[in-house]
A and B are shown apart, each in its own frame.
Chain A
Amino acid sequence: MELMMAIAVGILFMIGVYLILSRSLLRIILGTSLLTHAVHLLLLTMARLKKGAPPLLGEQASAYTDPIPAALILTSIVISFGVTSFFFVLAYKSYQKLQTDDMEQLRGDEGE
């Protein structure tokens, strides 16, 4: 199971990096959110995907899944959610003001 997840994470990383390297700003933002998906899945996978009850004491199970990565992922998700929404608004604002979403044209001149 971990192997499958590793491959999935690898593919997500691959697409994410490809999108970030493109010229259009929206594709770049999509790339960053795929990248964060990939690292969240990686966090889940690296804690081993063993069988067990969900980490709720009411389940009365003999074995539970590891609750720590879930907490870490939850934290990381809200952070990346905040950052992504800021990034989107920033992209919108700069499209209004700079009239382009092409990263080639957003280089900036030397000595400005």
Chain B
Amino acid sequence: MNNLLVFPLIIPLLTAVALIFFHNRVMLQRWINAAGALLNVFVAGLIVREVKTEGIQTLHMGGWTPPYGIVFTADMLAALLVLTTTVLSTACLFYAFGSIGKERERHYFHPFFQFLIVGVNGSFLTGDLFNLFVCFEVMLIASYALIVLGGTKRQLRETLKYILINIVSSSFFVAAIAYIYGVAGTLNMAHLSLRIAEAGQGGILNVIAVLFLIVFALKAGLFLFFWLPGSYSAPPTAVKALFGALLTKVGIYAIVRTFSLIFYHQPELTHSLIGWMAVLTMILGGIGSIAYSDINRIINYNVVIGIGFISIGIAAATKQSLDGVVFYLMHDMIAKALLFLLGGMLIKAAGTSDLRQMGGLIKRYPLLGWMFFAVTLALVGIPPLSGFTGKLLIIQGGFAAGQYVWTGVALASSLLVLYSLMRVFMGAFFGEEQLAAAKEPVQMKGMISAAAVLLVLIVVIGIGSEWVYSFVSQAGDVLADPGIYINAVLKE
């Protein structure tokens, strides 16, 4: 029992409620929101430290022991992801101060931001399947509001599709919960894992596992990502960065959790399905990322490639590759948020999102240019930066598991990432200065410093890999051996 675990949920919730009362006073809203976000970062750090020294922490809501009540569980994976979420969302918030515009802020941008964090943190921490569904919905409803806020034609159009896809996938989620409740008679994840281990995962349980995979793949953009490039192009940059960094990663987290804790008995069926979906995701995402000359699209397809890459680690399911999944997940969340923020500034500086109409921006925006270059290297996985260790672990794990095709495609996908982002870098920052870029330089001091924080994090994680790995390895232990998680939740 550890009451600290509820704070990553309570703090944003109370902040959001407080913010609703002050929606007309923009400056006050900013102060309250920033204070809430920073407090949350602090609490998340405390949780990571506690999990590091004392192992998995649990909290029984209302004092009901599991499996009867809802249990919050922070193993190292959940704690690290909560910390990453709070840090990068705070950076996005500070970016939003400079870019989102007073009109949106008056119309409840700040409360919706905090509600999104409630949903994301809740999804990471919960140990109950139905509560996971509820946290997903909290996150999604906040995201519907954030994606449409502002009400331009394009936003309205894309929100219609985004909501439709998510209603359908949420319906399937409830259906999958109904099936698993009918078969196993429980909803607590640890208890489910025990029951399924007793019954043996065959027949109907495999079907349910695949149904869960479809649901989470729709949320995460694993192979079923057809909705993602359009939807993620519509909202303003700060919101895009939150979506690209958090929403799909929650889906990936749900896949990691369900297929390492609950459905791990038949990897030749479920995990190879994940592996092949990941391969197709990387190939299709790679094609998309080099096909367009629209910067939004290029970045969105890079999100898709990242999802595929992480899933290779899940599918290989060795201790090493699971370590890699945790490491790469943290890196990818931060780096994708940074990529979206820099992409947003780039579009603002050039006055267009079409790569063909850009050029020569390096003269006016050298800092922006070299930051974009750095994040490109980080995403490709060049050694001193954060992407390298995660990629190395996933690829080593993949080869150790004998999955040469999957791992080969994963390696090749790095080249496509490199090509697509370098094309943006070379096209936008070098060459002749274009007419659109020759206008007055855009002021973006505040935005650049928010992005710089994330860049520093990427460098620190990259250089301090050894230190970060001591945390990551603890998370990988739990993923590789579900017994640790079950013991922590049920035998207290």
Contact = CB atoms under 8 A, between A and B. Distances in A.
A25 B168 CA distance: 15
Contacts, number: 103
Contacts of A103: 160
Nearest to B163: A87
B141 A98 contact: no
B134 A42 contact: no
Interface string B256-300: 000000000000000000000000000000000000111001000
Interface string A27-40: 01000100110111
Central interface residue in B145, B161, B163, B172, by most chain A CB within 10 Å: B163
Contact of A20 (B145, B163, B168, B175): B168
Interface in B215-269: 230
Contact of A47 (B130, B134, B137, B182): B182
A39 B167 contact: no
Contact of B167 (A46, A75, A87): A87
6 contacts: A35-B168, A42-B178, A69-B178, A76-B133, A79-B137, A91-B160
A108 B171 contact: no
Interface residues of A, number: 37
B332 to A, nearest CB: 27
Interface string A69-104: 100100110011011001100110110011000010
Given A20-B164, A39-B175, A90-B160, 4 more contacts: A42-B174, A43-B174, A79-B170, A91-B160
A53 B312 CA distance: 50
A39 B156 contact: no
B435 to A, nearest CB: 19
B160 A46 contact: no
A91 B292 CA distance: 30
Nearest to A41: B178
Contact of B178 (A46, A87, A94): A46
Contacts of A43: 174-175, 177-178, 181
Nearest to A9: B175
A66 B238 CA distance: 45
Q: Which 10 A-B pairs have the closest CB atoms?
A: A46-B182, A94-B156, A43-B178, A46-B178, A39-B174, A32-B167, A42-B178, A35-B171, A39-B175, A79-B137
A35 B141 contact: no
Interface of A, helix, strand, loop or mixed by DSSP:
helix
A106 interface: yes
Given A72-B130, A97-B151, A106-B160, A83 B177 contact: no
A40 B170 CA distance: 12
Interface of B: 130, 133-134, 137, 141, 144-145, 148, 151, 153-154, 156-161, 163-164, 167-168, 170-172, 174-175, 177-179, 181-182, 187, 230, 292-294, 297, 354
Contacts of A59: none
Contact of A97 (B134, B153, B167, B182): B153
B163 A106 contact: no
Contact of B144 (A28, A45, A86): A86
Contacts of B174: 36, 39-40, 42-43, 76
B181 A112 contact: no
B157 A39 contact: no
A90 to B, nearest CB: 6
A28 B130 CA distance: 26
A58 interface: no
Nearest to A109: B154
Given A43-B174, A90-B163, A98-B157, A79 B181 contact: no
A46 to B, nearest CB: 3
A61 interface: no
B151 A93 contact: yes
Contacts of B167: 32, 35-36, 80, 83, 87
B293 to A, nearest CB: 7
Given A43-B174, A108-B154, A75 B134 contact: yes
